[in-house]
Amino acid sequence: MSKRVLHDRYFKQAKTEGYVARSAYKLTEINQKKRIIRRRNRVLDLGCAPGAWLQVAQEAVGPQGSVVGLDLQRVRRDFGENIVTIEGDAEQYDPKELIAAGVSEPRLFDCVLSDMAPSTGGGAGGSGDHFLSIRLCDVVLNMVPHVLRPGGNLAMKVFEGEEYKPLLIATGRYFSKVKGFKPQASRDASREIYIVGHGFRNP
């Protein structure tokens, strides 16, 4: 991959502004346009490493909110008292332990985020990557009824392809409003798009 692609404007901006990755600007734009995270919210970030979305979510919820991050990889940076990071597999991790993380009394989340993606050669997301990303979204949707409060919101990444529309329909069974959104910070070559759901309703 060329140096030009890796070190683009968002990469440099992240370094300057103290974010651990350029992906911070994806969630920033999603939240600015879609208002999925509010002050004092409790947020679950699936696939949270290296921690850029944790940083953005922490800013959005403020000091009286909290964020729980889960990833197969260990997050090696300490983001503060209202951020809890857990090393584990989203498909196997007990939802009850997630809603109990970092609080004296278990509380459902106001928003679930997922930037999970299969490992790719450059983020473009070919056909194989598309189906793997669909499977990761299925993991998220299976977890949502156990961790998200009624009326809560969702943003999850998927690579576009033939199963994208069925995934939108499936997500719509859980949320009153569902739409795809591609942030400007997504690379032009990437087929990634974020499914944003508002108003969780448990079918």
pLDDT digit string, tens, across residues 80-132: 999 999 999 999 999 999 999 999 899 999 999 999 988 765 445 567 899 99
Set out the domains of the chain in order of their start, with CATH numbers: 3-200 (3.40.50.150)
Tokens of 159: 């690579």
Res. 19: pLDDT tops 60: yes
pLDDT for the residue numbered 202: 84
pLDDT for the residue numbered 71: 98
pLDDT tens digit sequence for 39-57: 999 999 999 999 999 999 9
pLDDT for the residue numbered 3: 43
pLDDT tens digit sequence for 154-197: 999 999 999 999 999 999 999 999 999 999 888 777 889 999 99
Q: How far is the C-alpha of 82 from the C-alpha of 62, rounded, in Å?
A: 9
**With bands split at pLDDT 50, 70 and 90, how would you rate the model's confidence at 6?**
very low
pLDDT for the residue numbered 12: 62
Per-residue DSSP letter, 104: S
Q: How far is the C-alpha of 72 from the C-alpha of 85, rounded, in Å?
A: 11
pLDDT for the residue numbered 17: 55
66-71 and 148-159 as β-strands: parallel, antiparallel, unpaired?
unpaired
Stretch 142-165: mean pLDDT:
97
Answer for the pair 153, 38: CB distance below 8 angstroms, yes or no. no
- Alpha carbons within 13 angstroms on the beta-carbon side of residue 116 total 27
Active-site positions? 157
